[in-house]
Amino acid sequence: MTSKPKITITEVARAAGVSVGTVSRVFNNRSDVNAGIREKVWATANRLGYQRIRQRRNSGPAAGEGLPTGTGDIGIVFFGMEDTLVQLPIISYAVQGIESRLSTLGRSLLLANIPAANRIPHFIGEGRVKGLILKGPNQGELPSASQVELIRACYSLPHIWLMGRLPGAKGDHANFDTDIAARLAAEHLHAKGHRRVGFLNPKPGQNQFERLKSSFLFSAQRLGMEASLLESAPRANATWPLPATTSQDAVAELCTRWAQARPSERPTALFIPSDRTAVQVYSTVKQLGIRIGTELSLISCNNERALIGILHPDLTTIDVHADIIGQRAVDQLLWRIEHPADPHPVQVLVEPSLVERHSVAQL
């Protein structure tokens, strides 16, 4: 019998209609939350069956696996992106992995969401955390610690970046292997008989998308396929908070560009860099009267089940195992806490896997 998935703090926030930072403050008895919101959060948490990780400790022999256990809070800091970032399924899956791992180690979790990166979380200023998991934007440039007080405060503690680290960012990093993800996509399309393929990129400059793009185009060409790029125009320098999701208009413009190309020249299959974008492609392509899985094949990335469960035909995608990335981020952070003087940044990459469904036609 399959056990019921644990409810995460992000799911409580979504159901209560508040930010994850608010939920975190309520759970940690902060005084800066009004009584009505506090009552609503607790009622929602009780209704969903949420259990704080302090109540989920596992003292069994598998809990430690050689890693330090015991007291010591860990913090997650989201910054530089809209509030909706923490509501994306892939982030929820990663947080679920983080909470699950911490629960086995007897440690507690604090969380702050600071879209404009314009303040320092209370738990950092009060010295309540031993280390931090950081999730910032995957687009643009990361300001230096001398420019942004929040980054300077985060760098004062052992830390690890979660699922994306901009050039110039300091510290360890936990993510999925984008090279393997792109190669799996190219190999699957090749095995299905596709010889003209494309990469759809509505957010040029997005760090994760760019890595997938270059690796996919390389892998496709190595397999002897004709690989092309459907890409939006680069956007002007944006200020924080950046939008967490892709513009529907940008996706629609690229789909229309594909539809207007000569049938003998346009790709028979497209690799989409995220399931959220794939959902937008489905919507646009349907309006254009194009049948996915026959006239156009799609393969995506992330395996965000909460997003793609309603799609027809069901979407072939790359499972990046976000929950495992969250667990590995915790493991590496705890190692870093124990070895603060080690000068070498560590990158932990989780190997993704193909989830074949029905959106890719056999030619």
Sign of the dihedral through C-alpha 121, 14, 93, 176: negative
- Give the contacts of 286 (CB within 8 A, at least 6 positions apart): none
What predicted TM-score, i.e. pTM, was given to this entire model? 0.88
- Give the contacts of 101 (CB within 8 A, at least 6 positions apart): 326, 327, 330, 331
Q: Rounded to an integer, what is the distance from CA 95 to the centroid of its chain?
A: 10
List the chain domain ranges.
9-171+323-350, 178-321
Average pLDDT over residues 71-80: 87
Owner of token pair 């793609």:
308
Proportion of the chain above pLDDT 90, given as a percent: 70
Q: Please check whether residue 141 is in contact with residue 166, taking contact to mean a CB–CB distance below 8 angstroms.
A: yes
Q: How confident is the model at residue 336 (pLDDT cuts 50, 70, 90)?
A: very high
Which H or E run includes 196? strand 196-201
φ/ψ of residue 333, rounded to 5: -65, -40
Which H or E run includes 111? strand 109-114
- Give the contacts of 29 (CB within 8 A, at least 6 positions apart): none
Lookup: tokens for 282? 């489905």
Q: Please check whether residue 116 is in contact with residue 241, taking contact to mean a CB–CB distance below 8 angstroms.
A: yes
pLDDT at residue 4, rounded to an integer: 57
Q: For 223-273, how does the pLDDT look when each residue is reduced to its tens digit (9 = 90+)?
A: 999 999 999 998 777 788 988 888 999 999 999 999 999 999 999 999 999
CA 135/CA 277 separation, integer angstroms: 20
pLDDT at residue 186, rounded to an integer: 98
Q: How confident is the model at residue 191 (pLDDT cuts 50, 70, 90)?
A: very high
pLDDT at residue 87, rounded to an integer: 81
Sign of the dihedral through C-alpha 161, 240, 231, 260: positive
Please, is 42 exposed, middle or buried when counting C-beta atoms within 10 Å of its C-beta (0-12, 13-18, 19+)?
middle
Q: For 83-116, how does the pLDDT look when each residue is reduced to its tens digit (9 = 90+)?
A: 887 888 999 999 999 999 998 888 889 999 999 9
Q: How confident is the model at residue 56 (pLDDT cuts 50, 70, 90)?
A: very low
Q: Rounded to an integer, what is the distance from CA 82 to the centroid of its chain?
A: 14
Lowest mean per-residue pLDDT among 199-203, 246-250, 357-361: 246-250
Whether the domain at 9-171+323-350 and the domain at 178-321 fall into the same CATH topology = yes
N-terminal to C-terminal alpha carbon distance within the chain? 39
Tell the CATH superfamily of the 178-321 domain.
Response regulator (3.40.50.2300)
* Region of residue 234 (phi > 0: left; psi between -120 and 50: alpha; otherwise: beta): beta
- Classify domain 9-171+323-350 at the CATH class level: alpha beta
Which of 131-159 are b and which e, b meaning 16 or more Cβ less than 10 Å from the residue's Cβ?
bbbbbbbbbbebbeeeebebbebbbebbb
Q: For 117-161, how does the pLDDT look when each residue is reduced to its tens digit (9 = 90+)?
A: 999 999 999 999 999 999 999 998 899 999 999 999 999 999 999
CA 16/CA 14 separation, integer angstroms: 6
Q: Please check whether residue 196 is in contact with residue 268, taking contact to mean a CB–CB distance below 8 angstroms.
A: yes
